[in-house]
Structure 1
Amino acid sequence: MKPLYRLNVIPSLPEQLTPLWDLAYNLWWSWNKQTTRTLEQIDPETWVASERVPLRFLASLKSEQLEALIADKQVSSGIEHILQQFTQYLSHPTWFGETHSKSRLQVAYFSAEFGLTESLRIYSGGLGVLAGDHLKAASDLGIPLTGVGLLYREGYFHQALNADGWQMEKNPENDFYQMPVQPVFTDSREHLSIEVPYVDGNVHTRIWQAQVGRVRLYLLDTNLDENSPADRDITARLYGGDEPMRIRQEILLGIGGLRALQAVGVEPTICHMNEGHSAFLALERIRRLMAEQGYSFATAREASVIGNVFTTHTPVAAGNDWFPADLVETHLSHFREALGLSREEFLGLGRIDPNDHHAAFCMTVLALKLSGGANGVSRLHGEVSRGMWQGLWPDFSEHEIPIGHITNGVHIHTWTAPEMSDLFERHLGDTWRFVDSDPDSWAPIRQIADRELWDTHQQQRQQLVDFSRVHLRQQMHSQGAPSAKIEQSLAGLDPQALTIGFARRFATYKRGNLLLRNIERLKALFADTDRPLQILFAGKAHPKDDAGKDLIRQIVHLAREEPFNGRIFFLQDYDMNLARYLVQGCDVWLNNPRRPLEASGTSGMKAAINGVLNVSVLDGWWDEACEGHAGWTIGRGEDYEDEHYQDEVESNALYDLLETEVIPLFYQRDSSGLPTDWIGRMKETIAQLAPVYNTHRMVREYSEKLYLPGQSRFEELTADPERVLQLTQWKSHVRSKWAQVQIGQVDFEFPGQLKVGMQVPLRAEVSLGELDPEDVRVELYTGRLNAQHEFTQTTVHPLELQQSNGEGVHYFSGTFICSESGSHGYTLRVVPSHRDLRDPLEMGLIRWAEN
């Protein structure tokens, strides 16, 4: 039986408290510690029962409680204070407003998941949490950015471990009206919806919104009666379903997301694709320009690509979305026809080699081909990505592949413990709230009294232990464990013991069981009763990843054996709330992925800003952050072909570190009982890493390196249709004539012996056929040579045109400068050149001199 009408009933607040509704619907409260403290003080039990969500909390308060709040001067004063903070936040001058006030930048940030708060369950892990932190930092900095995502009916699964330790998945439905999201209304107060075209008909899609400080996040929902059951399920589960469902979700995110922005009146100049899930948006931008401006596909592509930014997050080829060609044709043939492309032309956009008609269609390849800027999420990941995708630019050197890097960060206000925030405020002043990336502004951390910092950290560890006891008691009870056994196990949790945390997605490459590899050495770590040790594990495996689930079961089984019972625990259902307790309360954060398969690894950053020391392999962010005395490194960044041998070597290195350095240092105390050397490392961790690995620095970097330059070029091209048309025609001409380009004789005036500082002139004959010298750039390519006579540390110097013979042959000259000693090589090459090329490599054309 279905209801005749649906009604959403909201609580009635006294007039004095109605501003709290605006606050409850703005996720600013999730990173403002004073707000959550004030609400908790009103009614601690109700606050916990409402899962610390202001919207639910206010709805749970009885009318007499609400009246009492008004009468209680202390409480009403606290509420007034947080409302003033909220107003001040929204009106305070921002970095972007002060430095780029004349910019017409409008960024649309697309992501399949957003981790903003645990009460909005539309995230699974690191990708979503990073997206949430990106929006929060954009709000803090005042960047004109709008988020676009999907509002999942079930979100990501809840994890429950059965008595055997095997992961089970539960998918309770979200109640959107109990979450900090609101419908987008039309002028007639109807819920705004759009129609997204699929090959089998239009899908009706409602638009919701979440407010993230100054930033708005639009979320799409297909769970409408007007849709078929299959279409309603498009937004049922994050990363749920089979390949057909996955591609339908990505059509909705990319194509539907851009159409949703148009419906709410947002016209982005930059579209940022956070991973390849939303890459179809690039095709929708092209389609719109074709429809609105009458452009051809090629011209619309030229006009729009510069306005797209793509961030890749995985260094594993299989981790990218690859769809069978027939599946893509089945679901997008109508869209392909609207673009005026043949089947193979369309599929070629998602293939490394467009001429390989048997290849699958890759969303990452599509995003790379249709973006004006692309980046990995750490320095090492940028290098790995250039190697992974070099096939798109097969004739170019790997280091020249146009994929840069912007290292991830974390939103410090979200992840810093309240007690640590108070400490920062006392010693860094109010300005710390703006998260200055100047290391000097964080230098006072080193002057904090050891006792003050240690007591703060001890308090956070105590809170972690208290939380873990409650969490594990419920967990073990649900598994059917006897009460006496539960209490015996939990009694081992020690708020004074050295606490190691390992929490992340349980994929095999992250090696969650590396510490378990040698049980005898592990037992020895727990044998010293004067130096107690405890290890807390958490994390979910993908529902289809049985190997990851087996890693979890191994840990659960080991934790039941002596001497590990009561000393090793696996906390189920890892989410943002559990993550906060862990990164704030552990002493050591362990990270041991198989290098170089960790793109970034932001959990270690969250731990670091709380003074937690990292023990990690040189992968992801730690490869560039490990300098100084901020933590420890497992190994020296070696690469291994034999994974079994790698595990053996690196597990022993980890045991050695713990035995000889980590545990002894933690328990090395002065006369007052303080681990002064350990505390010194805590101070260095915060002072060195907090100014760098935060999302304020990260989002500023995106703005200055990608958003603003891309926006400027996008406006130039879209404002001048003739200029775009000329660029399109020029590219077509150059491609059609490129086979005529040849490098002939190269005259190098070799003096017999080269010395540092010498300048050696050279002259090259270049045949351009029907191309003009202005169409190309002739370059001297030089660099050091390794033992295999391969180039390293290369530099490029343009040569100048000297003369032409009138028959397509031209002579270019330049100078080879001997700047340093050693083995060097040189060669020549020709690449296209045009004022509107964003990068000489973008056309994929190059001609090298032949021996």
Structure 2
Amino acid sequence: MAFDFQMYPTAPEFSTPAAYFSMEFALDQALKTYSGGLGFLAGSHMRSAYELKQNLVGIGILWSFGYYDQGRNEDMSMRADFRIKQYSFLQDTGLVFPINIHNAQVLVKALYLAPETFGTVPMFFLTTDIPENDYLSRTISHHLYDADTAARVAQSILLGVGGGKLLDVLGRQTEVYHLNEGHGLPLAFYLYDKHGRDLEEVKKRLVFTTHTPELAGNEEHPVKLLHKMSFFGNVPLEEVERLGLVENGNLNYTLTALRFSRIANGVSKVHGEVANEMWGHYQGICPIIAITNSQNGTYWRDKQLHAALAANDDAALLARKKELKQELFKIVADQTGTLLDPEVLTVVWARRFASYKRADLILRHFERFLEIVNSEDRPVQVIWAGKPYPKDYGAIGLFNDIIAKTKNLNNCAVVTGYELGLSAALKKGSDVWLNTPRFPREASGTSGMTAAMNASVSLSIADGWIPEFVRHGENGFIIEHTDINQPDHVKDDIEATNVLDVLQNEIVPLYYGQPEKFLEIVKTGMREVEPEFESHRMATEYYERMYNAK
């Protein structure tokens, strides 16, 4: 007997039954099924889809160890800890079914997250970590983004094939299957086999979101390895090759998804253009449109800040902002022993920790940085946070370098544990949200949206969503980027100067010398970030432009 889950009454305009597949979901601090921005985006999508009463279910993986717990060594450097997670709020569906991985049967168990738990659409999380499986099979769902290639391939099969089969086991009629990134690509081959190996039948049902604006970041593997791992299910390797999916012996996940989908999207207007430049010359790909990522206001916005904004009560807004800064500074003091001042301009850099995001750009001209932050009459406080991939030793080294470089500065701190809870505290407690990616490598970069919702102004390279929102000096601040064809070290030198120029010559004088004008910029950002960059708009666009597209 199939598990009986009930959809809430769906709105007529969102009645098309769809399923959303994502390797990670950031839904609540208590549920460790995410690593960074992709998960934050997916979580906001699931919340807005619920609030709009869309006929959507979410499919993910229950990671036994989560991503990792970010702790500290004795010298304050970062440490990655791995602990088994337990969740009383996930319901056992009683559903256990087989899938094929590496030509062997692996059993998959499905757990259910009810809508009322966190205010999301109905969601199912898959695990292989059950006693019925051998140890190797159990480890497939242990670690999000496992560093072992075979394990990563197996995780893709679990998400794509396991998710597709779960919907069939449930007996749910699904008209649209939405792949959030290429991780769940085996779903395409599952559907291809299910629908008589007719590519057009798959294209009627599959849509795809790509998030990665550089070729090297789009996953690909030798086709022989994928075949050996049962990535293609029942589809013979000869047919995969006949479909023209193999280039130089490899299969690219993004390119293959574009060839199996009826429509795809990039996640900002800039990224939509970049994605078309990257993939548009390939034969057989679907149209790529732009649907800019966004974040759920119900979850992210501080109610008291927004009540003050709505009432046009500047005193109440400033008082609440000071409270939120003090709450953040308690976290900073608890972790680092550094006491920060709520009256001082506070800049935060916090997001998934990757080298192209350049967490240390503001430190590049270090003597000038010190001059700015240590100013006697107009000081600046800077906080960093972020989780590097646990096997990205370069990024971990950079994280630790920032700790070492700033540990003796009384107005700088690096905090660990960048998850939903800390992210919210940083956005609510910052005055300026710093974003310094190498252009054009930030596909979207949604953290600045939720910062703006909470009275923090963006100071950002004009990449991702920023060109669609920020008007310099009106609702945020732009860091001018240089010619993208320059060598990286030249770009970094010039853009590091540009960061400090805007901070020292524009933001600091406004904050201390013209506080009313600075507040007006803050309030303009708060007003204008919604509804355009609130995820109700995004979830609506997916239905109107992707799910219902004919």
TM tier, smaller: over 0.9
Which residue in 2 is equivalent to 1:621? 465
Deviation at 1:577, TM superposition (A): 0.4
User: CA separation in 1, counterparts of 2:102 and 2:313?
Assistant: 66
Question: Would the aligned equivalents of 1:536 and 1:569 in 2 still touch at CA under 8 Å?
Answer: yes
User: CA separation in 2, counterparts of 1:122 and 1:181?
Assistant: 13
Look up the SS of the partner of 2:230 in the other structure. helix
Choose from 474, 478, 487 the match for 1:642. 487
User: CA separation in 2, counterparts of 1:525 and 1:350?
Assistant: 56
Amino acid at match of 2:539: V
Choose from 368, 387, 397 the match for 1:540. 387
Which residue in 2 is equivalent to 1:407? 292
Deviation at 1:639, TM superposition (A): 2.4
Which residue in 2 is equivalent to 1:205? 108
1:324-343 correspondence runs (5 A): 324-332=222-230, 335=233, 338-339=234-235, 341=236, 343=237
User: How many residues get paired?
Assistant: 541
**Which deviations, in whole Å up to 9, do the C-alpha atoms of 1:476-524 show, x marking residues without a partner?**
xxxxxxxxxx4xxx23x11211110000122111011101111110111
**Over aligned residue pairs, what C-alpha RMSD do you find?**
2.1
Question: Would the aligned equivalents of 2:353 and 2:388 in 1 still touch at CA under 8 Å?
Answer: yes
Look up the SS of the partner of 2:417 in the other structure. coil
Which residue in 2 is equivalent to 1:151? 62
1:639-718 correspondence runs (5 A): 639-669=484-514, 675-709=515-549, 713=550
Matched, 1:246 2:152: yes
Choose from 608, 612, 616 the match for 2:452. 608
Deviation at 1:421, TM superposition (A): 4.3
Which residue in 1 is equivalent to 2:39? 128
Which residue in 1 is equivalent to 2:3? none
User: CA separation in 1, counterparts of 2:63 and 2:450?
Assistant: 27
Choose from 235, 259, 267 the match for 1:369. 259
User: CA separation in 2, counterparts of 1:363 and 1:649?
Assistant: 35
Choose from 44, 68, 80 the match for 1:169. 80
Choose from 378, 393, 407 the match for 2:268. 378
Look up the SS of the partner of 2:275 in the other structure. helix
Which residue in 1 is equivalent to 2:209? 311
Question: Would the aligned equivalents of 1:323 and 1:361 in 2 still touch at CA under 8 Å?
Answer: yes
Which residue in 2 is equivalent to 1:454? 318
Matched, 1:346 2:240: yes
Choose from 415, 422, 434 the match for 1:578. 422
Which residue in 2 is equivalent to 1:469? 333
Deviation at 1:261, TM superposition (A): 1.2
Choose from 348, 352, 366 the match for 1:501. 348
Look up the SS of the partner of 1:227 in the other structure. coil
User: CA separation in 2, counterparts of 1:460 and 1:347?
Assistant: 57
Question: Would the aligned equivalents of 1:115 and 1:128 in 2 still touch at CA under 8 Å?
Answer: yes
**Which deviations, in whole Å up to 9, do the C-alpha atoms of 1:8-34 show, x marking residues without a partner?**
xxxxxxxxxxxxxxxxxx9xxxxxxxx
- Aligned-residue identity in percent: 34
Deviation at 1:104, TM superposition (A): 4.8
The alpha-carbon distance between structure 1 residues 637 and 393, as it changes in their structure 2 partners (threshold 3 A), is farther
Deviation at 1:202, TM superposition (A): 1.3
Look up the SS of the partner of 1:112 in the other structure. coil
User: CA separation in 2, counterparts of 1:182 and 1:348?
Assistant: 43
Deviation at 1:271, TM superposition (A): 0.3
Question: Would the aligned equivalents of 1:192 and 1:207 in 2 still touch at CA under 8 Å?
Answer: yes
Amino acid at match of 2:386: G
Look up the SS of the partner of 1:192 in the other structure. strand
Gaps in structure 1 of 5+ consecutive residues = 1-25, 27-89, 185-190, 291-296, 395-399, 428-447, 473-485, 670-674, 714-851
User: CA separation in 2, counterparts of 1:334 and 1:112?
Assistant: 18
Deviation at 1:470, TM superposition (A): 2.3
Which residue in 2 is equivalent to 1:183? 92
Amino acid at match of 2:430: C
Choose from 22, 25, 28 the match for 1:111. 22
Deviation at 1:455, TM superposition (A): 1.7
Gaps in structure 2 of 5+ consecutive residues = 1-5
Deviation at 1:169, TM superposition (A): 1.1
User: CA separation in 2, counterparts of 1:616 and 1:638?
Assistant: 16
User: CA separation in 2, counterparts of 1:661 and 1:163?
Assistant: 39
Question: Would the aligned equivalents of 1:209 and 1:217 in 2 still touch at CA under 8 Å?
Answer: yes
The alpha-carbon distance between structure 1 residues 243 and 470, as it changes in their structure 2 partners (threshold 3 A), is same
TM-score norm. by structure 2 comes to: 0.94
Question: Would the aligned equivalents of 1:199 and 1:334 in 2 still touch at CA under 8 Å?
Answer: no
Q: Which has the higher contact order (CA 8 A, sep 6+)?
A: 2
Runs of 4+ with >3 A deviation: 163-166, 347-351, 421-424
Which residue in 2 is equivalent to 1:196? 99
**Which deviations, in whole Å up to 9, do the C-alpha atoms of 1:563-618 show, x marking residues without a partner?**
xx221100012111000000111000000100000010010001011121000001
**Which deviations, in whole Å up to 9, do the C-alpha atoms of 1:27-73 show, x marking residues without a partner?**
xxxxxxxxxxxxxxxxxxxxxxxxxxxxxxxxxxxxxxxxxxxxxxx
Deviation at 1:347, TM superposition (A): 4.4
The alpha-carbon distance between structure 1 residues 633 and 695, as it changes in their structure 2 partners (threshold 3 A), is same
Look up the SS of the partner of 1:392 in the other structure. coil
Which residue in 1 is equivalent to 2:478? 633
Which residue in 2 is equivalent to 1:216? 122
Look up the SS of the partner of 1:544 in the other structure. coil
TM-score norm. by structure 1 comes to: 0.61
Choose from 168, 171, 175 the match for 1:262. 168
Question: Would the aligned equivalents of 2:374 and 2:380 in 1 still touch at CA under 8 Å?
Answer: no
User: CA separation in 1, counterparts of 2:244 and 2:369?
Assistant: 48
Amino acid at match of 1:287: D
Amino acid at match of 2:538: M
